[in-house]
Amino acid sequence: MALANEDKEEILGLIEHAINARPEVKNSNVRYELDLRERTVRVEEELKHQRELMIEGFRRMDERFEQVDKRFEQVDKRFDEVVKRLDHFMFWSLGLTVSAAIFVVNFLK
């Protein structure tokens, strides 16, 4: 039960006619791909924008950390000055206490 050439040509003609009758199938696939490409481009642009925002945020954080470091250095200097003043006070206080003790001991003799 082999097909004759005429039958094969008729089948091919029917298939071609069916394919040509539904061009929207081919076009819808193309439209879908174009839509996907547009979406991809929009997503890439948004990612680029987000990356730029993150870089800007990191730059601002670095600047803020530098400001905080400078402030800590200032506080450290002030703390060192207070420690020096306290050391001088303690030195003079000890000296006055020892002098007063020696004076009292000599006075009571």
The string of pLDDT tens digits covering residues 19-42 is 776 656 556 677 888 899 999 999
Residue 83 belongs to a domain: yes
Residue 2 lies in a domain: no
3-state secondary structure of 8: helix
* Widest pairwise Cα distance in the chain: 147
Domain presence at residue 103: yes
Q: How confident is the model at residue 10 (pLDDT cuts 50, 70, 90)?
A: confident
Asked whether residue 9 is assigned to any structural domain, the reply reads no
Range(s) of the domain holding residue 40: 22-108
Q: Of 65, 86, 68, nearest to 76 (Cα)?
A: 68
Residue 1 lies in a domain: no
- 32 domain-assigned: yes
Please tell me the distance from the alpha carbon of residue 11 to that of residue 8, in angstroms, as a whole number.
5
Residue 70 structure tokens: 């400078």
3-state secondary structure of 109: coil
Work out how many domains the chain is built from and give that number. 1
CA angle 36, 42, 44 (to 5 degrees): 100
In a domain, 7, yes or no: no
Pick from 66, 95, 87, 92: nearest CA to 79: 87
pLDDT digits (tens, 9 = 90+) for 78-105: 999 999 999 999 999 999 999 999 999 9
**Residue owning tokens 């001088």:** 88
- Whether residue 15 lies inside any domain: the answer is no
